Amino acid sequence: MHSGKQNFDLNQYIKGILSGDRATLSRAITLRESTLSEHKLLSEKLLKSLIKHTGNSIRIGVTGIPGAGKSTFIDVFGSYLIEKFNKKVAVLAVDPSSNENQGSILGDKTRMERLSRQKSAFIRPSPNKTILGGVNQYTRESMLFCEAAGYDIILIETVGVGQSEAKVHDMVDFLMMLQIVGGGDDLQAIKKGIYEKIDLILIHKADQNNKIEAEIEKVNFFKNFALFPKRDSGWHPRAQTCSSIEKTGISEVWNTIAEFEKITRENDSFFKNRKSQNSVWFHHLVANKIQDFITNQSDLKIEIKNLQKRIQNDEINSIEASERITETLKKIFGQV
């Protein structure tokens, strides 16, 4: 992306996104994910112009360990929603990044071969840049862009790193976790963490010789859910089986989501949850702005660079260096 302001036409971006143009939508997400401060400001301006057109989708988180078949399930499930109900489906797939170079394979789109051919689908793979929580730093904003573009269903596929992925819960309406048959002790469901946040355990790859074992695991998960406190939403987590290969259990998953939406909308917990998530987003934005402001202070940059050299030369330890940074910050903000 070029950095000049002359390449950014706000009205053209707004018009393109509201008309559902996938190329413009993709560019808007790229703009938001850019590390350039100028691009961040432009993307915020665009978001503010589009925010009134957001909020009309069902936001679904899809998590699970690597190898659970999340991409395969989304390929079949998303295609089913388009072909059966004429839905517009957006997929925000978050790929793990290398700790060494921050790079990602971003191969989810190739794994969703059927869905990627659908005109009513939009698939956007993004790197998580080693951020914990299973999502990208700007996944929420990408979701809002997709809503403004008229997508009815937003599927957020997490990186699949385990129970640290609970952060996705703060930006979706419904959270499902894919579990492979025999993939782990069902008593893990008793543990606190993401299991207390999910709305549906989906025992995937329940096909061929795995069907009986999958049904047993479904029953065990259902029993374990009974150990959790009752939710304010009035929703009791479910356990279901599914096979993307045989395309069984797909319609039942959608029926469960539709039932969840009906129950939570009627008792107002659907809207209360979104209001709570907006507060989480606000704190996230504030933290990012504070970090950007602080790290862009030239005096602080110089101090950090000098202290890093002194640490490497064993002239100062990390605790002393951090105390020096505190003193520098006090000077920047005018504190004695």
For 169-216, what is the HEC assignment? Answer: HHHCCEEEEEEECCCCCHHHHHCCCHHHCCCEEEEECCCHHHHHHHHH
Residues contacting 145, CB < 8 A, separation 6+: 17, 25, 28, 29, 32, 47, 50
| Class of residue 213 by CB neighbours under 10 A (exposed 0-12, middle 13-18, buried 19+) | middle
pLDDT at 109: 59
Tell me how far apart the alpha carbons of residues 258 and 54 are, in angstroms, rounded to a whole number.
20
Q: How far is CA 79 from CA 93, 120, 315, 329, in A?
A: 16, 9, 61, 53
Kind and range of the H or E run holding 244: none
CATH number of the 1-53 domain? 1.20.5.170
Q: Which fold has domain 55-267?
A: Rossmann fold (3.40.50)
pLDDT at 222: 85
Rounded average pLDDT per 10-residue block, the chain, 336 residues: 60 97 95 87 94 97 89 96 98 67 49 92 78 63 97 90 65 93 58 75 92 92 83 91 96 98 96 94 87 81 91 93 88 69
Q: What is the DSSP letter of 243?
A: B
Q: What is the residue extent of each domain of the chain?
A: 1-53, 55-267, 283-332
Place of tokens 């025992």: 203
